[in-house]
Amino acid sequence: MSGVSRRHFLRLTAGTGAAVVLSSATPAALAEGGPRDTRVYVLVVDGCRPDEIGPVLTPHLHRLRESGTNFPAARSLPVMETIPNHVMMMSGLRPDRSGVPANSVYDPGEGAVRTLDRPSDLRAATLLDRLRAAGHVTGSVLSKEYLYGIFGERASVRWEPFPIVPVSGHAPDLATTDALIAMVHRADPALVFVNLGDVDRAGHTDLTGTTLRAARTAALWSTDLQVGRFVADLKRTGRWASSVLLVLADHAMDWSLPHRVVSLAGRLAADPALTGRVVVAQNGGADLLTFTGPEAERAAAVARMRSIAAGTEGVLSVHAPAELRLGPEAGDLVAYCRAGWRFTDPDVWSNPIPGNHGHPATEPIPFFVAGGHPAVRAGATSSAPARTVDVAPTVGALFGLPEPAGGYDGTARLDALVGV
Amino acid sequence: MFRAGGVAAVAAGAGAFGGVAVADTGPFAHGVASGDPLPGGVVLWTRVTPVADAVPGSGAGPEVRVRWEMALDEGFRNVVARGAVPTGPARDHTVKVDVTGLAPGTWYWYRFHLGGAASPAGRTRTAPAGDAPVDRLRFGVVSCSNLQAGHFSAYRHLARREDLDGVLHLGDYLYEYAPGEYQARDVVVRPHDPPIEMTTLAHYRRRHAQYKADPDLRALHARVPFVVTWDDHESANDAWSGGAQNHTEGAEGRWLDRRAAAQRAYAEWMPVRYEPGGRLYRRFTFGALAELSMLDLRTYRSRQAAHPLDPAIHDPDRTITGDAQLRWLRDGLVTSGAQWKLVGNPVMIAPVRFPSTLSTEELRALSRLTGPLTGVPYNVDQWDGYTADRRELFAALRDHGVRDTVFLTGDIHSGWAADLPYDPLTYPLNRNSVGTELVCTSVTSDNLDDILRVPPRTVSLGVEAAVRVANPHVRYLDFDSHGFSVLEVAPSRVQMDWFALADRTDPGSAARHTASFTVRAGTQRAVRTWEPLR
């Protein structure tokens, strides 16, 4: 990442013996904390489907869900990808206000498709910086390099994901949990934003995903153990009674067979009016289409693009970005695929992985509030339509943080809380 | 569904061709009812008999004005709404008022006045406000109430409960047959009036009047609001858009005239927000907890396939819903803001393949329950006979990640709980369920043991086991019991309890709990529970 400012580093040894390096802008953030007040841990089990949590495979997550307040109607928001939904969680704003609509967009300034992984890509304030400005210590423990990239130095205390698994670009949940526990022990932030990447990464690459989901199942089991380890540590160190855990996923996962692929780039290029003038930013189950020709021709070209995309087998629907509350960064059109399909663009070999998300089939997510804090409503279920964008207003309410300028797009899910 | 029996013995004296006597009940012999609750309104219903000869279907009697009032208390000290409406022979002296401006989630009492006479008081309840959190809803769920086949004890048991917000009647509220055409095995427990098959407006009106005079049905109507839809017997067996199995074009008039008469009588006699020529399919919202889409699967459907091997069952040009209703249902489910998407569904949507291991006699009996069978896997009067519509609907649920859709179904005179596989062939491997279906049994109409003429829970047990083996998504099946169901909807789960009558031919029959299944939120699976609702 660019623009690294003066940073203070602290090397710790985790309970597993691994080294954990935290960084912060000020030494004070790494000082031992005072008497313990409300602590909130937003744990994102990346890519987890709500129906994958159960008493046998994921007993710790299951117990947490049963013990607190569950939101079974919870859903991810467009585009159902990791970066935009993490940004929505922390900002409480939809992408048309944050500037982050997808993982991958066409950047007209650079004339290329790129990942939104730069601190400057996120135009809105987040809880990490707003709570920090209000005098709280905040922390980020994000297993994926691009998340660490976009959230940059917003948190008072950060963990830079390490070691990184080649290809997947993420740190294993074991290391992430080591870092989380070390950060809580040492800096004890009021809010820690955590991404556990194993379940998502195993889901993407699981060639048995349409049937057996062998790797995925193993990852769920192992990630659940890590969550259990963190909860046990909070209890062991006397922190449980002041802790609120908000556990959710950023999106779900859907598996497709190799013949269920949609490649729009070639079909669009075959239209003489569009040849060489459409760029596709592929986001698994969603394609962002941008017309790069003359402005005067845009309206007609977009109509042709829409017609071609909508007429392609495997395409579920085509939307103007504004319909989905996506800003101009999303390009001219968003195409979704059907369940059991995936996009592979620009080429038919570009996306070989069976597990994908980004399309509406991957909207349902787990979303529950647990913990020993007296504000947590125990043993409850709410019909409320919780969304990823609701995390910031819910956590903000716990800290009495005022709404940002222009208000939140999300809703504080106070069903889960008592006396807030 | 239709199963004509053999020659029937008419048990009691058939009513004279003059309708139900009203002398002892004053002008309100057919009771009061309410239905179609919205957050701010509800439909109130009654029928008046202003003079003795204004009997149902007669076209006789004067124009009158009927006053109504609605209160927050049973003693009518706190009246919040009142009015007066005209009625007369043109609408068979029925009265229907769509009261608006009410408070959401509130119990009300209502009654009617004609001259100095007051109706019995009814009780009703508005739906919760659109975005309100709702912890619990409870509905009685019933279907297939054939007066000739028994007494409506199921309604009485529901009326005695204190925990219901309403009743869902999923169709076959009344039957078209003449005495002797369709009853309880061989016994006509209570003969139909008029004592012929209903084909004209006067017939339909009189039949409705006969049913509304039943004390158990009157008690339940007066207790809670109904949400109803029709299936086929409200007009004629196996109705479709252009005819019906039990309609002979010409000899019984034109089908469109007969159906228009049936629909007009239905609009007059049922507490439903429906008028002839309008749309019966409609949607209700119960806060953030649930939405209920009530379907009409008779008015727009293509003719049933000739037999279960007919490739027409997969023809995308054939429809059970009609294009507009399917679009309305699909779009409503996909964009719903409610957690539970309930669908009031007159005929079963779960795919059911009948096993090849059954005996000829068992297959013949099943076919009498479900329609032509001849050893192959479909009941072509259900969604199984219109697979393109089902495919489109299930694909929409899957493509849009729609959770917690529960079809509530009647028609088939048996209790079922089933998951709804997107692909039945791979279902045992990957449990690709897009929703669930809970089917209530008949209030009285014949089912498998009746057709086989064997004691309940004997031969049927083997048939049920065989059906479940051939259909692993079917979690529960009871081919024998008559009775009712109670449905609870809560944020954490939906549960249906099934209750069976001891003897449908006994007017005082007891009922007992037989089974319970839950669908936990987010699972799309029906699972047995041993704890009935409390």
Residues of B in contact with A210 (CB under 8 A): 430
What is d(CA A254, CA A232) in angstroms, rounded to the nearest whole number? 32
State whether B76 and B177 are in the same domain: no
DSSP code of B269?
H
State residue B430's pLDDT score. Answer: 80
Average of per-residue pLDDT across A302-326? 98
pLDDT at B375: 37
pLDDT at A214: 81
Q: Look at residue B160 in the predicted model and tell me its pLDDT.
A: 97
Q: pLDDT band for position B465 (50/70/90)? A: confident
* Minimum Cα–Cα distance from A69: chain B residue: B492
Q: Chain A contact for B374, CB < 8 A?
A: no
Can you give the pLDDT at residue B357?
Answer: 63
CA distance B516 to B526: 10
H-type helices in A101-197, by residue range?
127-133, 145-151, 173-186
User: Which residue from B339, B398, B490 is facing A73, i.e. has the nearest CB?
Assistant: B339
Does B391 contact chain A (CB < 8 Å)?
no
Residue of B nearest to A65 (CA): B492
| pLDDT number for residue A4 | 45
Q: pLDDT at position A212, please?
A: 65
If asked whether residues B384 and B507 sit together in one domain, one would say: yes
A383 CB within 8 Å of a chain B CB: yes
Question: Whole-angstrom Cα distance, residue B411 to residue B452?
Answer: 19
CATH label of the domain that carries residue B218: 3.60.21.70
**Sorting pLDDT into bands at 50, 70 and 90, what band is B164?**
very high
Contact of A73 with chain B, judged by CB distance below 8 Å, is answered with yes
Give the tens place of pLDDT for each residue, A186-202. Answer: 999 999 999 999 999 88
Contact A383 B400 (CB under 8 A): no
Structural class in CATH, domain A8-252+363-416? alpha beta
Q: Are residues B295 and B379 in the same domain?
A: yes
Architecture of domain A261-356: 2-Layer Sandwich (3.30)
B94 within domain boundaries: yes
**Average pLDDT of the residues in A19-32:** 72
Contact B131, B92 (CB under 8 A): no
B304 and B256 assigned to the same domain: yes
Task: Tell me: do B103 and B150 sit in the same domain.
Answer: no
ipTM for the complex shown: 0.92
B253 and B123, same structural domain?
A: no
Q: What is the pLDDT of residue A164?
A: 86
* Mean pLDDT of chain B, nearest integer: 90
B46 φ/ψ angles, rounded to the nearest 5 degrees: -160, 180
Query: A340 contacts in B (CB within 8 Å)?
Result: 398
From the CA of A304, how many Å to the nearest CA of chain B?
A: 24
Structural domain spans, chain A: 8-252+363-416, 261-356
Strand residue runs (E) in B165-286:
166-169, 187-188, 226-228, 239-240, 243-244, 282-286
To test the contact with chain B by mutation, choose from A48, A67, A367, A383 the residue with the greatest count of B C-beta atoms within 10 A, namely A383
> Of B99, B127, B155, which marks where a domain is finished?
B127
Q: How far apart are CA A151 and CA A118, in angstroms?
A: 8
On whether residue B3 sits in a domain, the answer given is no
* Contact assignment for A384 to B401 by CB distance below 8 Å: no
Nearest C-alpha of chain B: how many angstroms from A177?
Answer: 28
Note whether B122 and B169 are same-domain residues: no
Q: What is the C-alpha to C-alpha distance for residues A154 and A78, in angstroms, rounded to an integer?
A: 24
- For the cut 50, the answer to whether the pLDDT of residue A2 exceeds it is no
Any A CB within 8 A of B398 CB: yes
- Say which range, A112-126, A165-179, B351-365, B453-467, has the weakest mean pLDDT: B351-365
* Token pair belonging to B9: 């013995």
Residues 429-448 in B contacting A (C-alpha not used; CB under 8 Å): 429-430
Instruction: Please report the pLDDT score of residue A27 as a whole number.
Output: 65
Write the pLDDT tens digit of every residue in B184-195: 777 889 999 999
Where does the pLDDT of residue A235 fall: very low under 50, low under 70, confident under 90, or very high at 90 and above?
Answer: very high
What is residue A6's predicted lDDT score, i.e. its pLDDT?
61
pLDDT of amino acid A159: 94
Q: What is the mean pLDDT of residues B469-487?
A: 93
Q: Residue ranges of the alpha helices (H) in B225-292?
A: 255-269
Structural domain range at position B80 = 31-127
With 60 as the cut, is the pLDDT of residue B297 above it? Answer: yes
- When scoring B289, B336, B492, B525 by the number of chain A Cβ atoms within 10 A, the one with the most, hence best to mutate, is B492
- Across A339-343, average pLDDT: 94
Average pLDDT over residues A217-222: 92
Cα–Cα distance list, B234 to A5, A36, A334, B319 (Å): 77, 68, 47, 20
Under 8 Å between Cβ of A396 and A106: no
B1 found inside a domain: no
% of chain B surpassing 90 pLDDT: 77
Residues B464 and B437 in one domain: yes
Chain A, residues 208-237, CB within 8 A of chain B, namely 210-211
pLDDT score, position B370: 64
Q: For residue B356, is pLDDT > 80?
A: no
Contact yes or no for A179/A12 (Cβ under 8 A) = no
On the CB side of B272, CA atoms within 13 Å amount to 28
Percent of chain B with pLDDT over 70: 91
Which residues in chain A touch residue B401, judged by CB atoms under 8 angstroms apart?
75, 252, 339, 360-364
Q: Per residue in A244-268, pLDDT tens?
A: 999 999 999 999 888 899 999 999 9
Q: What is the mean pLDDT of residues A84-105?
A: 98
Last residue of a domain, one of B111, B127, B143: B127
Please tell me whether residue B478 adopts helix, strand or coil conformation: strand
Q: Looking at the partner chain, which of B399, B430, B524 has a beta carbon nearest the beta carbon of A338? A: B399
Considering the domain architecture, whether residues B186 and B243 belong to the same structural domain is answered as yes
**Residue B491 resides in a domain:** yes
The yes-or-no verdict on residue A378 having pLDDT over 50 is yes
Mean pLDDT of B363-372: 66
Q: In the prediction, which pLDDT does A29 show?
A: 63
Q: Is residue B119 located within the same domain as residue B144?
A: no
B200 and B269 housed in the same domain: yes
**Lowest model confidence (mean pLDDT) among A33-37, A263-267, A292-296, B196-200:** A33-37
| Total domains present in chain B | 2
pLDDT over 80 (residue A209): no
Residue B499 pLDDT exceeds 60? yes
Q: Is the Cβ pair B398, A381 closer than 8 Å? A: no
